[in-house]
Amino acid sequence: MIKSVLPLSMIIALRFFGLFIVLSVLSGYAKDLPGGNAFLAGIALGGYALTQAVLQVPFGVMSDKIGRKKTLLVGLLIFALGSVVAGMADNIYMLLVGRFLQGAGAIGSVVTAMIADHVREDQRAHAMAIMGMVIAMSFAAAMLFGPIIAGYFSVSSLFWLTAILALTALLILFTAVPEPPKIIHHYSEEEAKIKHVFKDKDLVRMYITFLFHSSTMAIAFFIIPILMKSKFGMTPMDYWKVYLPAVILGILAMGPAAVFGEKYSKGKEVFVISVLFIIASFALMGFANSFMLFAVGAACFFIGFNMFEPLLQSFVAKFAKVHQKGAALGVANTFAYVGIFLGGAIGGWLYQHYDEKGVAIFVMLLSLLWIYWIIGMRNPGLRKNLFLPTDKYDTQKIAMLKTTKGVGDFYINETEGTIIVKYEDEVISEDELRKMLLK
């Protein structure tokens, strides 16, 4: 599993590092560019997410049809081009063009779907946790090194570094990533249409959770550097004093979140606790006058935000059927990127008109609605997985599972010679399924 998951995680981590490395300094930089203001700075922060939102589903569907590797190649090249344009920007509008181009390389869901292809259902939580930890490490490094590099050189140099990292990810793709296994499913062309990924109510709840999660992230990364600069007189070289402890605590929070969310099927409870941390964070950042309380608020945000990370992609992959993984993860990431764009735009507008207190009140009210939304979702851990070797069980019989109550999904991993059945343990038992499919 590590052999296939780690290279893919490195690809997505390099891409996210390129996006994250500017987050810690971008809002202040964009606001001071010719033609810039707080609202346009918010658009620059979340602008890449608008094109991500538009193209995430097409990239996911394309990867289901023409293959994951070809789709990743196209996405990484577009991302590198956008980074070059942003690096050359000498006004706010050219920066916006570069950010929009960066987002057009919408490969996030493709990498996640490729990991899901390579990893068995019962190992997927571990695989997603590995990916989450690698991304978290890239996030931590970006938060720490971004301000330092920008301070020594310039913010534009960060975009040039991002372009180089995108090309490095291409090298990893074609030297270290194995071909995915061949999967056979029994769904018609009609059943594979994009509209079907909206039929599962739990999937829809996950999509909206992605929206909430990413919008609060964008607002936080808009407001944190601006307040550090304007309210506490800090320079980018000093930002590490806030980011370092916050990032460390956020990473430490991921482990317990993954354990309770996956092993003990307490995903909903983990989500609610995470949102409570986010509410506390904005209350402190928006209303605290002391630097210490502001720093505690930033740490609370990183804890709440990171607790979601090992669970979000995994839960969508569990709820989605095998032929929908790319499309469902594409939809989920579309909602995430819409949230980033809206968060950046709304955060910039609110700050311009109502300062940080207005921003904090908005996020706190939004988070209460978020908790209400989460409560109505089922825990995906209640769904079981059955793995049957094809030499002992009849592959011709699995078509009958389409009408079997309690069976959510089934498919054949031809490469590994395995039939995989996802079922509701409280509706149908493992023994019943074995008897149905036995040769």
Give the pLDDT band of residue 121 (cuts 50, 70, 90): low
At residue 24, the pLDDT reads 81
Query: Which stretch, 108-117, 229-238, 423-432, has highest mean pLDDT?
Result: 229-238
Question: What is the rounded end-to-end Cα distance, in angstroms, of the chain?
Answer: 30
Question: Is residue 439 packed enough to be buried (19+ CB in 10 Å), middle (13-18) or exposed (0-12)?
Answer: exposed
- Cβ(328)–Cβ(302) under 8 Å? no
Phi/psi at 193 (5° precision):
-70, 155
Q: Half-sphere exposure (CA, 13 Å, Cβ side) for 196?
A: 17
- Check whether 333 has a pLDDT greater than 80: no
At residue 12, the pLDDT reads 78
- Check whether 360 has a pLDDT greater than 90: yes
Range name among 102-116, 209-223, 283-297 with the lowest pLDDT average: 102-116
Average model confidence (pLDDT) for the chain?
82
What is the rounded distance in angstroms from the CA atom of residue 290 to the CA atom of residue 169? Answer: 42
Range name among 57-71, 187-201, 240-254 with the lowest pLDDT average: 187-201
Query: Which stretch, 47-61, 84-98, 193-207, 225-239, has highest mean pLDDT?
Result: 84-98
At residue 438, the pLDDT reads 82
CATH number of the domain at 384-437, please? 3.30.70
- Cβ(185)–Cβ(411) under 8 Å? yes
Range name among 115-129, 229-243, 309-323, 421-435 with the lowest pLDDT average: 115-129
Dump pLDDT digits (tens) for 179-189.
Answer: 666 555 444 44
Can you count the helices (H) and strands (E) in the chain? 14, 4
> What number of other Cβ atoms are within 10 A of residue 170's Cβ?
16
AA identity, residue 283: A
Dump pLDDT digits (tens) for 226-285.
Answer: 899 888 888 888 888 898 899 889 888 988 888 887 777 778 888 999 999 999 999 999
At residue 128, the pLDDT reads 65
At residue 435, the pLDDT reads 82
- Check whether 133 has a pLDDT greater than 60: yes
At residue 124, the pLDDT reads 60
**Could you state, in order of their start, the residue ranges of all structural domains in the chain?**
2-179+193-375, 384-437
Average pLDDT over residues 380-395: 75
Phi/psi at 330 (5° precision):
-65, -45
At residue 191, the pLDDT reads 46
Give the pLDDT band of residue 91 (cuts 50, 70, 90): very high
Range name among 46-60, 211-225, 345-359 with the lowest pLDDT average: 46-60
- Check whether 303 has a pLDDT greater than 70: yes
What is the rounded distance in angstroms from the CA atom of residue 298 to the CA atom of residue 302? Answer: 6
At residue 349, the pLDDT reads 93
CATH number of the domain at 2-179+193-375, please? 1.20.1250.20
Average pLDDT over residues 415-425: 78
Grouping H, G, I as helix, E, B as strand and the rest as coil, residue 328 is: helix
